[in-house]
Amino acid sequence: MIGAELRSALPRTYHAFFGRHGQPRPIQLGAARPLLDGRDALLMAPAASGKTEAACAPLCELLLTREWEPPSVLVVSPTRALANDLHRRLEGPMAELGISLGRWTGERKEPAAGRRSGRGVVLPAVTLVTPESLDSLLSRRPERLGTVEGVVLDELHVLDGTTRGDQLRILLGRLQHLRGNLLTVAVSATMAHPEAVAGRYLRDAVLVRDDRRHPIKARLVRGRAPRVVARHLEGLCRQGRTRKVLLFADRRDLVEEYAAELRSMPVFQGAVFAHHGSLSRAVREATEERFLAAPRALCVATMTLELGIDIGDIDVVGLLAPPPDVSSLLQRIGRSGRRGVGPRALCFAVHDAALFRYRTLLDLAASGDLAADPACFHPSVLVQQVLSLLHENPGRWVSASALHRRLDPDLASHWPTARIEGLLKHLARDTEWLEQAGGGRYVAGERTERLWQRGRLHSNIETQGELEVVDQLTDQVIGAVARWERGPALRLGGRGRRVVRADSRRIVVGTAASGEAPRFAPRGVPIVGRALARAHGARLGVADGSWPLAVREDGAALLFHFGGTAWGFLVSAALVDLADGMTPRLPAPVLDAGPFAVTLAHPLLARVPAFDTEALEALCRRQRRRLARILAMGPFHRDLPLDEADAALLEAADVAGLAAELSRACVCEPPPGADPAVWAELA
């Protein structure tokens, strides 16, 4: 399809979505026809290529042509912040078309954009939701979704392979069961296994992709101290080509540290901001608006700004550490170079091994290899969905067949009604989630009702208790911290905050010149997958089945497995078991376990564990709690029957693959020419 054909195919919506932007983008030309023909589609294209508009324009054309009743289209966003940004991007075209637009998330509920009818408040024609708010709507107000015809899954790669992605997968089945066939379109900039992803969320889908990418211009810098970062940023700004910089850190405390340290840089004239998930929505949105409006500015952020939130044209992206995977690298660096000059990045490395990791990620990105592991289903989501589905039913009961009818064909084949019945019996017999009501029906237990009343039944995200930080003058919540060292001031939002008073729930603050760094509640550490770890080993010249052994200057041994985070943990646990049988017994045989190597107290301990599949499975069962945290199996994992929980762990950890690796692996010398410093730092 060419521009004239697209204009003809979208007579009502073309001008509103594309008329101001010149020639339509390739993804927009390719997406229109299959969607107008009623085909599900997966749209893949680089950042800033107009994917969301490519999905929404045909759906709005159908909405206007067929006079769909509101709510007609749901746009599912992985985060509330991105939902807010999507609202800003779509409100102009929607207003021009006379289509109501609103948000229904944990932060904003905008039924005012709709109307009232016999079924209460009607949601806007196009409603932006998150997986959690969609879950809430389905269980608390399913009648409001009775007219939905189309669904857009925005930035699906963020959710796929996680508990929230599996939750969304079942929510789509519940929506299909409520409405019949839906027209569904998924949107992503990076997707490792697109056909498999389409099979999980879509039906008979068309894959539309634009693989054209600008080459990444990356400069690697040895060192990442604030003064090093400041020197390089000042140099770029003085050359006249750099006005806006987005600097990514992998921890919230580093965001606070660098925002405070770099605030004095003259080139930004104080326009230095902090952005991370422990800051309140109001503070984050104010930061986005101020950064967007400033002529020159620096924003230090975690992955909260990795997605396509509109913060204007970014000239350079800085990275304080290698991102966890290739997809994240592309998303972060892709925030820059949106004026046709291509993405530009400054990659700061604390040591030579970080430089090596950057080069590996950049080479994989250039070749189009995301080096991602296949996704596994997290059955803990079924526990949460049972409780949510129970409340969708006006009779307030659930059965195995009711859940089974709402699963997609692949899940339904793996979870027949008999297997689901076993799950329900366990939840009634061994937990307080359900009570058996007879006739194959189950009702809510006390534990479920407590969570339902508090509105906390709709999430598959692990939560931690935090203290609210509140501004003394405005009474506005600034953010949240896990704790601080009870000093007179703390640092939050890149600024000093004087502690006025504090109790067990909140900290009231004023202004201060500086402050100590607080502790933030852990939000989970991104793991390095097996495929990516193996790519690092291959770049170092490590052959399959080889486990290089290097000895540090302090005598510790580095045994390289290049198997990823989960395998590293299991190998270290296996080696501890082996060391326990040695004489004399060492108190701490394993000093550290990483995605590339395990660090051992002595070279004599360096050996490939002789564990077969059965022995590894037993090891996993002994380490089930720690392994479940590493693999992010979800907050309801502990509520599964033990055999189901263990089976899910064994699959997610690929224990059979590890057993095969151990059967053929042998300890060897590092490849010729290996840099000892890189190997030591990589561990």
d(CA 123, CA 101): 9
The DSSP element (H or E) to which 674 belongs, if any, is none
| 323 contacts: CB under 8 Å, gap ≥ 6 | 248, 250, 329, 332, 361
Which of 564, 493, 565 lies closest to 524, judged by CA?
565
Q: State the DSSP string of 121-155.
A: EEPPSEEEE-HHHHHHHHHH-GGGGTT--EEEETT
Q: To 5 degrees, how large is the angle CA 283–CA 465–CA 594?
A: 95
The letter for the amino acid at 275 is H
d(CA 305, CA 635): 25
CATH 3.40.50.300 fits 3-209, yes or no: yes
Q: Which residues pair with 101 in a beta bridge?
A: 126
Q: What are phi and psi of 649, to 5 degrees?
A: -65, -45
The answer to whether the bond into 676 is cis (omega within 30° of 0) is no
The CB-side HSE value for 278 (13 A sphere, CA atoms) comes to 28
The letter for the amino acid at 374 is P
- Using DSSP bridges, classify how beta strands 41-44 and 183-188 pair: parallel, antiparallel or unpaired: parallel
d(CA 167, CA 139): 13
* Alpha-helical segments (H) within 430-493: 446-453
Buried-exposed string 365-381: b where 16+ CB fall within 10 A, e elsewhere: beeeebbbbebbbbbbb
Q: What is the pLDDT of residue 113?
A: 47
d(CA 252, CA 466): 14
Which of 469, 477, 454 lies closest to 503, judged by CA?
469
Report which DSSP code applies to 572: H
Q: To 5 degrees, how large is the angle CA 99–CA 104–CA 41?
A: 65
**Tokens at 4, concatenated:** 């004239």
Q: What is the pLDDT of residue 340?
A: 58
* Numbered ranges of CATH 3.40.50.300 in the chain: 3-209, 217-362
d(CA 323, CA 249): 9
**Tokens at 234, concatenated:** 């000042």
Q: Please provide the distance, in angstroms rounded to a whole number, between the alpha carbons at the two ends of the chain.
A: 51
| 431 contacts: CB under 8 Å, gap ≥ 6 | 445, 447, 639
User: Which parts of the chain have pLDDT scores under 50?
Assistant: 113-114
Which of 173, 193, 162 lies closest to 44, judged by CA?
193
Buried-exposed string 166-177: b where 16+ CB fall within 10 A, e elsewhere: bbbbbbbbbbbe
d(CA 118, CA 546): 69
| 530 contacts: CB under 8 Å, gap ≥ 6 | 373, 563, 564, 566, 567, 654, 657
Given strand 206-209, what is the order of strands in its sheet? 101-103, 126-129, 73-76, 150-153, 183-188, 41-44, 206-209
Q: What is the pLDDT of residues 440-484, one digit of tens each?
A: 999 999 999 998 998 889 999 877 678 899 998 898 899 999 877
Looking at 3.20.20.105, 3.40.50.10300, 3.40.50.300, 3.40.50.1980, the CATH number of the domain 217-362 comes to 3.40.50.300
Q: Which residues pair with 568 in a beta bridge?
A: none
Question: Looking at the domain covering 380-453, what would its CATH class be?
Answer: mainly alpha
d(CA 415, CA 400): 10
CA 678 from centre of chain: 29
Q: Which residues pair with 206 in a beta bridge?
A: 41
How many CB atoms neighbour CB 432 within 10 A? 15
Instruction: Output 63-67 pairs: Cβ under 8 A, ≥24 positions apart.
Output: 63/99, 63/125, 63/126, 63/149, 63/150, 64/12, 64/13, 64/97, 64/99, 65/12, 66/149
| Residues comprising the chain, all counted | 683
Q: What is the CA radius of gyration of the chain?
A: 26
| 27 contacts: CB under 8 Å, gap ≥ 6 | 43, 44, 45, 49, 50, 51, 54, 208, 209, 210
The letter for the amino acid at 137 is L
Q: What is the pLDDT of residue 115?
A: 57
Which of 350, 364, 360, 356 lies closest to 674, judged by CA?
356
The DSSP element (H or E) to which 156 belongs, if any, is none
The DSSP element (H or E) to which 120 belongs, if any, is strand 120-122
d(CA 329, CA 352): 18
**Tokens at 624, concatenated:** 């089930």
Given strand 272-275, what is the order of strands in its sheet? 217-222, 344-349, 316-319, 244-248, 297-301, 272-275
Q: To 5 degrees, how large is the angle CA 39–CA 21–CA 16?
A: 60
Q: CB of 162 within 8 A of CB of 632?
A: yes
**Tokens at 232, concatenated:** 């390089």
**Tokens at 96, concatenated:** 């021009």
d(CA 123, CA 114): 5
| 503 contacts: CB under 8 Å, gap ≥ 6 | none
**Tokens at 448, concatenated:** 């479920």
| 535 contacts: CB under 8 Å, gap ≥ 6 | 360, 364, 369, 371
- Using DSSP bridges, classify how beta strands 120-122 and 115-117 pair: parallel, antiparallel or unpaired: antiparallel
Rama region for 223: left / alpha / beta (φ>0; ψ in -120 to 50; rest):
left
Q: Which residues pair with 668 in a beta bridge?
A: 548
Q: Which residues pair with 244 in a beta bridge?
A: 297
Q: Which residues pair with 519 in a beta bridge?
A: 483
**Tokens at 23, concatenated:** 């020639």
Q: What is the pLDDT of residue 410?
A: 95
